[in-house]
Amino acid sequence: MRVFKFGGASVKDAAGVRNVYDVLQKVGYEDVLLVVSAMGKTTNALEVVIKNYFDKSKELQASVQEVKKYHNEILMDLFEEEKHVVFKNVTTLFAELEYFLNHNKSPNYNFVYDQIVSFGELISTTILSHYMNYKDIKTNWIDVRDFIKTDSNYRDAGVDWDLTQQNISKNVKRKVLNVTQGFLGSDENNFTTTLGREGSDYTAAIFAYCLNAESVTIWKDVPGVMNADPRFFENATLLNQISYREAIELAFYGATVIHPKTLQPLRRKEIPLFVKSFINPVLPGTSVSKGADLEPHLPCFIIKKNQLLVSLSSINFDFIMEENISEIFGLFHKYKMKVSLIQNSAISFSVCIEDKFGNFNELKNILSKKFQVSYNENVSLYTIRHFDEKASQMVEKNKEVLLKQVSRETMQIVTKEV
């Protein structure tokens, strides 16, 4: 079985859904499992719904209607008959969403977040599956929450691999086109969980691992894995082949083309990963597989914007020792801070972090009780794998360098625009 993942950009409108059909016609669809994300910017739109829900905003219903309108326009474009069963199925999903908004009693933001954003994937796969059937490609729509079981760490759930393996190996049908949702799972109480933003790649890897899949293909709007994000760097170059190790390094440092967790299960079973273009599906793209000889021979650039550079220093000029660092990292874990860079001296400790859950102010107040805390907001973290002097100079040009760190293979530079 092959596993294909289509992200939100690939199904952002009716033309995108039609293109998925065309891609499948060109590359084959028998014995394939499709993992599909929410359409376009639906997750962002549902995050507005969540904000309005907690703010008790008068705009709540309007924000729900925006999501309905967006999907209804896609439906009207794809299906000639409004009597088609897909309209009823999508209406039922929106009714379930509104029922939750009207009856939920939990004040837990992360729990509510997962229950609401999950409708993006449920709706997109319902539409895609029905369209494939409409075009005479028979599909088997499956609810991923019945297969991927997790803990209750809402918004960043951990997978119960044993139970997930049992569910997938026993119940996924072979020799058909399966369609399921990325990003989602469920806990022991059958409440919906999510695997972290952009977690659909990880979903594809989970299914591939449990099915001993032939391969995983992530379909993107770029030709494959580039040595830099073409939105920020000119003359980005396609990497034809890279090793699991290099892909894991790139993903760890923030390369958005592959989700960081995706590579580990694939590497364990040596399942090859392909990153290909849904615009030109016959092009080879990038292959990720085993082999030390697959390292790129040119600098690879990764940029993470809107980071925080935080420096902690001892109030009494005491050394910052292992027990201090252990305590600090315990707090980073508690407040869900993603640490991307560390640098320390005798009496100071600096980190570049991402505050994706909005917990920094609370964390800062805790840290201030024991340390002097200084920080820079909205900094950019550049990571250069296989760096050279020219690459460093290009990144630093017209920027204020706040911190620089160099190892054998990797250079990291924290900058602020001048």
Query: For 21-65, what is each residue's pLDDT tens digit?
Result: 999 999 999 999 999 999 999 999 999 999 999 999 999 999 999
Domains and CATH numbers, the chain: 2-213 (3.40.1160.10), 300-417 (3.30.2130.10)
- As beta bridge partners, residue 226 has 238
Residue 291 carries which side chain, given as an amino acid letter?
Answer: G
In the block, which residue shows the tokens 């809107």? 306
Per-residue pLDDT at 348: 82
Look over the chain and give the mean of its residue pLDDT values, rounded to a whole number. 94
Evaluate the CA torsion angle 81, 278, 48, 121 in order and state its sign: positive
Backbone angles phi, psi at 187, to 5 degrees: -95, -175
- Contacts with 311 (C-beta within 8 Å, 6 or more apart), sequence order: 348, 349, 350, 373, 374, 375
Q: What is the pTM of this model?
A: 0.86
Mean pLDDT for the stretch of residues 192-219: 95
Closest by Cα among 246, 265, 267, 268 to 255: 246
pLDDT at 299 over 80: yes
Q: Tell me if 94 sits within 8 A of 61, measured CB to CB.
A: no
Per-residue pLDDT at 260: 73
Counting every residue, how long is the chain? 418
pLDDT category at 271 given cuts 50, 70, 90 is very high
Per-residue pLDDT at 306: 94
Per-residue pLDDT at 347: 76
Residue predicted with more confidence, 406 or 290 = 406
Give the other-Cβ count within 10 Å of 184's Cβ: 26
82 token code pair: 């409004």
Q: Tell me if 240 sits within 8 A of 286, measured CB to CB.
A: yes
Give the β-pairing of 177-181 and 184-186.
unpaired
Q: Which helix (H) or strand (E) holds 324?
A: helix 322-334
- Contacts with 25 (C-beta within 8 Å, 6 or more apart), sequence order: none
Region of poorest pLDDT, from 89-93, 235-239, 321-325: 321-325
Mean pLDDT for the stretch of residues 247-267: 86
- Alpha-carbon distance of 242 to 228, in angstroms, equals 14
Per-residue pLDDT at 417: 84
Per-residue pLDDT at 54: 97
- Contacts with 407 (C-beta within 8 Å, 6 or more apart), sequence order: none
DSSP single-letter state for residue 11: G
Q: Could you tell me what percent of the chain has a pLDDT over 90?
A: 82
